[in-house]
Structure 1
């Protein structure tokens, strides 16, 4: 079983695929190829280290053959890279798989690849996830075609050392938490060989004691039988002791109650005799309000010695809408996130998913919140389940609002009409479209900015930022270049700020960049700052005083919507103007 994994990856990364990636990340094709050629050997080294232990090899084999790995990825790459959602799914899915395999984030590796190749960090982070998805996909295809087993995996990985060693470095291996290249190369083959031998020829398990003893021959007559004796007398003795103890316990309780009652009567009599019959009530005696007296009535009427049992307060009526969001990976595995009001609803949801999709073919993230209203959408779960197997599909149910995005919003699949028929008129069904969202935002901004550009327009910072934040600057994926669609709106923003400067009312603003949660945290923070700086630079170029604007990137922090859907991620990827003192 000898293959070259690097060659399998290269066969999937054809010139046209590399060209698609280069266009996505704004890099020349040769620079893109250099990044991929650096990442792939490092990832194979990481798999070798994982397979160098018995548990690691078994876990790695299970992951490779899991439904989360797409064994058709080589053929599907051109189509997947043809859309932004496809690229995002590849990147996210690949990074999640790698982090599951390596038990650590892969950001350090992406950062080191960026340092070695000179490519932007956001591009190396994305391509690390994509390369990971391809690597595991081609391995899965090979095992499925060759009917390989877990014992062959360490051997296969060991055969890769000659092809990857020339491309490795101490820093790349350190980014994966491995030892230096010399130490790694010196021991990894022997470790893989030992693991493979153990899986193929495991040590015989020790027989359980009963099974071992079953083979022991005992000479006849060696066992002396003992006549069974009756133990009936012992049971009678225990019963008598229990009766005596019960009698003594009850008698003690009776005496304790009698003593307590006598003490109470004695104390009451002493109090009465100490108070003259004609004496007024002491000033310290407080008369209870009528409500307190009424409240005490049940306790007063309770039997002697019994304590009043407080009645539990009625639970507040649920006020929150139940929610369901589904994000389907490129391989067709859904992540199901939901908030429901009871454990029964949670069990019903998980049981239905397991029955229809398979116990290990979905990722559940179900929360129970008692303040949540009943999940009426559970009654329509059967109709939603086929959608949960559509690669790239996204759907969110919030109360009676349903939003489709990703491939679920593609008209050719017809899911919008299907769900309208399924849920009925009581639900509002819609799909998200970036072009329409940008057009709506642009119209709102241009209507509002007219007031600021009028002769009596306000220059108060609060009024200015309220209007400027209506505009949408829809950057291309992984790009920090101001898009042409935003130029006209930014020109109007500059007019507003320059007019305020001429009136002696300079508005001092921070241009803040934010991102969604797709990609690495550090990458998102850097990209959001680059975008904020690009917007600031454009405004300064059009005449806005440089000292009146600052730029900062906040990455995934402070989301204004859920990242579970395309519309939420679209809202979170934003430039926000913030008034400064």
Structure 2
């Protein structure tokens, strides 16, 4: 059964939710509806486009069913919006999900929505995250409750086309990379139908038909299978009776000829007796076979489906020796990876740490391993793959070497492939922080230490190498942080925080520890200079302890070099 995601989205974004969002962003409810009404068709169209290839549909379905997507968002959204921190986390998660699911450039979409509706770009940016989180939750809830599978996804997406056509403008279509709205509408349905034929459509397991139920009418062309079985039911009874007689005499013979020797032999009569009882209850061999099939099918349904993305990351030292870390779902996938590495580099000429976890989804990147192996020999190369997301850094990101274009051609449209860019990462973090911190300036904002810390931790203070001087790019964010802390103190709710400094693991550990302490102290000093009470802030450095990401790629080291605010 299909759904209309637009109708469900209107239900999730109820009038109460819209009024809440309007108050948060200083908009009228009508303008808030206008913004969400522009965002929704653009996101659905981008998702339809991603689902119009086989690899894209698999990647999209994997993202929808991932643990990051909240299938209960329809019920939980009012609670999530009740705090500034909750709203901020929802926005960030939603933007990440639509980027991961459909490759949407959220900034470009926000620009287009702002130009079309008259709302501020920052507001459109924030509401895109909220709509994205709600949309993904609606899709997950549908597939979870209906036990759906990837083969149903293209059909479901195709059913949304009429609603998309009603609201999608050329400006919005262009912002999400679809060209014109007319060109998209004219081609996407055929592509969705085509890809549906190339995806698996598992059939539900057959169930035995109760004799007390009337046979179903399947159409004139359906053979009368049930009636034919009834005509020969005496044969099955006869076979069952013969099987019981043979089993009975075989059992008596076993008792006369051989005493019980051990526990295994002792259990044999019970097993035969159980077979006899089973035969008596079921009355026929076909029914027993059907019951066994049903039990097997039920067991397969109960087994939990894999939920986490497969992972591959590697770094290559100056001598061209790679160090590989991977998580796959089966021993066969592990063997495939290790065999390919051994064939390419030889025994003992690479370092590999491959983990098998049954909760991991199939590693689609294994199909493109031959194209990755040459990159694994490039000194200084760094690559990280999580599911269908590929990130290049180090020499792998060198535009002159052209690996970005090579991998895009190798992997195809089902994978999201990009180069880690520090400036963009800082800019995205800055935007997220500035959207969220506004909520700390309103009179009814939460001054709970955990809520304030979550918002302050959205900012990135990107120190220069070996420096503890506050960078100019972070000054305004820290001034806003001080403003929020002073507002809470003015309400009589001072927030006690630890300013914790961390580093990556590159270099000497003792040096990193000292530098992390200096940076934490620099941030504390800056905030105190802005009027925050020194008694509410404590600075401490922890070096490379407690990493939040692996240090084997540039993006991981970037995340680990951080200032973290901890509520005390």
Instruction: Report the TM-score when normalising by structure 1.
Output: 0.45
Structure possessing the higher radius of gyration over alpha carbons: 1
Instruction: Report the TM-score when normalising by structure 2.
Output: 0.46
